[in-house]
Structure 1
Amino acid sequence: MPQMAPLSWLLLFIVFSVTLVLFSIMNYFMVVPAAPQGSSSQFQTQAFNWKW
C-alpha cells in the first residue's frame, strides 16, 4: 500500500542510524591505547617559598 511508504522510510532511517551508532561505538571502544613507556616521575615539582 502506498500510504505505508513513509513508515517504511522511517524504519529504514532508524535501522541505519542505529547501525551507524553501534558501529561507531564498537570502533571507538575496540582500540586499546598503548601505555606510555618511560619513567614514572616525568614531572619535576619545585617547592616555592613565597615571601610576602
Structure 2
Amino acid sequence: MVEKFWFEKARDFLKVAKESKEKYPWLSCFASQQSVELTIKGILMKVNEVTHF
C-alpha cells in the first residue's frame, strides 16, 4: 500500500508539473527537467526505502 501511495504522489507531481509548464511557460526556467528528474529519483528512492525493510 505504501509504494502505491508514493507512485500516486509521483504521478500527481508529474501531472501538476506538466500543467504548470503549459500554463506558465516562464516557470520552466525554475522547474527544469533536471529538478523534475531529481524529484522523481527522490520519490523512487523513498519507495525503495519503504518497501525493502
Band the TM-score falls in, shorter-chain normalisation: 0.3 to 0.5
Q: Normalized against structure 2, the TM-score is what? A: 0.45
Give the structure with the higher percent helix. Answer: 2
Bigger RCO of structures 1 and 2 (CA < 8 A, at least 6 apart): 2
Pick the structure with greater CA Rg. Answer: 1
